[in-house]
Amino acid sequence: MVSEKKTSLVSIIKKILDDNKATNIVTIDLKDKSSIADYMIVASGTSSRHIQSITEITAQELKNIGIKGCNIEGQESDDWKLLDAIEVVVHIFHPEKRSLYNLEKMWEDILPQQNITI
């Protein structure tokens, strides 16, 4: 049941991102790979204003449905924001920065049995 709740949260966040025109939305399963979260969602925005808007809207909609403790990191950045929704971490990048950091590739390369603690 707990796993279904987390999967549902992932679906809710992906829908919010999609509804607000985020692009290239990717979900990364971090279970058994990291203690930071169970899932990571990476998405792109078209401009600094769009990235800020997507992040704020997502945080507010999660709050509206009772998800408490969501924090936004990267407030000073124009090309990246992080939304920490406890079990799900959401990165929203400007496409150029996303390409530079390439989180999808980084997590893909981690061995499934390896446990990462940060």
Domain edges within the chain: 2-108
Which residues, 6+ apart, have CB-to-CB distance to 112 below 8 Å? 32, 33
Mean pLDDT, rounded, of the chain: 86
Listed residue (84, 92, 98) closest to 39, CA to CA = 84
| pTM of the complete model | 0.84
Q: How far is CA 30 from the centre of its chain?
A: 12
CATH architecture of 2-108: 2-Layer Sandwich (3.30)
Per residue in 23-70, pLDDT (tens digit) is 999 999 888 777 888 999 999 999 999 999 999 999 999 999 999 889
What's the distance, CA 105 to chain centroid?
15
Distance of CA 55 to the CA centre of its chain: 10
